[in-house]
Homo-oligomer: A and B are copies of this chain.
Amino acid sequence: MADLEFIHRLVTPAETKIVFLVMDGVGGLPMAEGGPTELEAARTPNLDSVAARAICGLTEPISPGITPGSGPGHLGVFGYDPCRFIIGRGVLEALGIDFDLLPGDVAARGNFCSVDSQGMVTDRRAGRISTEANAELVALLREKVRLPGAEVFIETVKEHRFVLVLRGEGLAGNLTESDPQQLGVPPLPIRALENAADPAASKRTADLANQFVAQAGATLAYWHPANMVLLRGLDKRPYVPSMGDVFGLRAAAIATYPMYRGLAKLVGMSALPSGSTLDDEVSALEHAWPEFDFFYLHFKYTDSRGEDGDFQAKVQAIEEFDSYVPRVTALRPDVLVVTGDHSTPALLRGHSWHPVPSMLYSRYCRCDEAQQYNERACARGGLGHIHAVDLMPLALANAQRLTKFGA
């Protein structure tokens, strides 16, 4: 795995276009031993026809045995080492509601919760209150909470979940959480971690967060069951150099879910208006085709159906995706990559550690003998097993956007 500085020094301009089709959680498992995976069960004539002309392989999102979240999974696909660029849960939550985080902001994932008269937590999710109730409480908090020297943003996410963003000079992450992760105990005070990079700023941020919790508790005292808040994953937006700066790419993201647009914006992509269906997404790609060098198109439902544990529905999602592939290849991208950010086998009803079937087509890809896009064919493919983070340098090389290293 070459680091970004190394790649950056080799970047050279070109007119070529690169498309990354990312089927979320596309990798799978057989439901019964000896059976097919979701990809193997799906009828995918269009993906298979790309596979027959492409080089195929398995990509390891992190390293063997490690299951990535959506953040690390996507950063790897975008060419950023997910073990180096760490995205806090609060930041991911803020990205997920399209909140425009500025570089110095600290974001936290918040839960409305229930506490008893002694202040002991009795329900960490306040009975999963409705999103409407959440919005009312958020309006109340916005009215009442004031912190010295910092702007406060409070945003409804869904049910009991909200996002807190602190904006001001001299804030920092590296903080403990207030969620005790158990019942019958009080929320924990937030503190700077011992190894905080900027202890004074972390201390100041912890003080502000604790003041927020105290004021929220006072404001919500009579709003049973949501009479308290818990904060987790308080952190700054990480510094991530943009794809324009590092790879010399005008990069665009097409995704129907805000979190994926947020992840793409984190690496400097332009998030295009993408509608709500795959048809909308492919139309967005066609429409923006002349304007960008790099397109990331995200398809969510392979992951959703995997999370549901619904093998057959995931197969159908794959087949739906397959039916749109001809519209993508008709654009004649110089480099077409098909991959996923991780595996989500229906059998496991969640993200998993399994490497992801991936393929790359270009005029110079050194096509292998794989004739299908699935786990078994990709395991024998010419790419071998590589790190997901190596897909981007490979795509750049195939797009003739990298010059030689050394004389």
Tell me whether chain A's interface is mostly helix, strand or loop, or mixed.
Answer: loop
A335 to B298, CA, bound (A): 34
Q: Is the CB of A66 within 8 A of B407?
A: no
Chain A 349-400 residues near chain B, CB threshold 8 A: 350-354, 363-364, 366-369, 375-376, 379-380, 382, 384-386, 390-398
Task: Please give me the residue from chain B that is nearest to A378 by CB atom.
Answer: B382
Inside 8 A of A364's CB, which chain B residues have their CB?
A: 29, 345, 347-348, 352
Taking a contact as CB atoms under 8 Å apart, the answer to whether B10 and A66 are in contact is yes
Select which of B65, B71, B390, B407 is within 8 A of A71 by beta carbon: B407
Q: Does A330 contact B (CB under 8 A)?
A: no
A130 beta carbon closer than 8 Å to chain B: no
Q: A69-B404, A367-B30, A406-B87 are in contact. Are A64 and B379 (CB under 8 A)?
A: no
Of chain B, the residue at the smallest CB distance from A73 is B406
Give the residue name and chain of the B residue nearest to A90 (CB): B407
With A and B bound together, what is the CA distance between A395 and B66 in angstroms? 11
- Say yes or no: is A92 at the interface (Cβ < 8 Å to chain B): yes
Closest to A352 in B: B364
Residues in B neighbouring A367, C-beta threshold 8 A: 30, 33-34
CA distance A33 to B55 in the complex (A): 12
**Chain B residues, CB < 8 A from A385:** 384-386
**Contact B83–A390 (Cβ < 8 Å):** no
Whether A65 and B396, one on each chain, are in contact in the complex, defined by CB atoms closer than 8 angstroms, is: yes
User: Do residues A379 and B376 form an inter-chain contact, with CB atoms below 8 A?
Assistant: no
Let me know if A72 is at the binding interface, CB within 8 A. yes
- The answer to whether A70 touches B407 (Cβ under 8 A) is yes
> Which positions 27-73 of chain A face chain B at CB distance < 8 Å?
29-30, 33-34, 37, 53, 58, 62-72
A102 within 8 A of B: no
Q: Which residue of B lies closest to A83 (CB)?
A: B6
- State the CA gap A402–B69 with chains docked (Å): 13
Cβ–Cβ < 8 Å partners of A353 in chain B: 394, 397, 402
Which chain B residues lie closer than 8 Å to A376 at the CB level?
368-369, 382
A129 within 8 A of B: no
- A364-B348, A366-B375, A384-B379 given; A406·B65 CB < 8 A: no
Q: Which residues of B contact A393 (CB under 8 A)?
A: 63-66
Would you call A86 an interface residue if the criterion is a C-beta within 8 Å of the partner chain's C-beta atoms?
A: yes
Query: Please, which residues of chain B bring their CB within 8 A of the CB of A350?
Result: 404
> What distance in Å separates the Cβ of A93 from its nearest Cβ neighbour in chain B?
8
Are B63 and A406 closer than 8 Å at their CB atoms?
A: no
Q: Enumerate chain B residues within 8 angstroms of A348, measured Cβ to Cβ.
A: 364
A360–B404 alpha-carbon span in the complex (Å): 27
Interface presence of A4 (CB below 8 A): no
- Bound together, the chains give a CA A89 to CA B405 distance in angstroms of 11
On chain B, the residues within 8 Å of A398 by CB distance are: 65
Given A34-B367, A367-B34, A62-B402 contact (CB < 8 Å): no
A-B contacts, 19 of them at CB < 8 A, read: A30-B367, A33-B53, A37-B366, A58-B382, A65-B392, A65-B393, A65-B395, A65-B398, A67-B405, A70-B406, A72-B406, A82-B405, A89-B407, A345-B364, A347-B364, A350-B404, A354-B366, A384-B384, A385-B385
Q: A residues engaging B (CB < 8 A)? A: 1-2, 6-7, 10, 29-30, 33-34, 37, 53, 58, 62-72, 82-83, 86-87, 89, 92-93, 233, 345, 347-348, 350-354, 363-364, 366-369, 375-376, 379-380, 382, 384-386, 390-398, 402-407
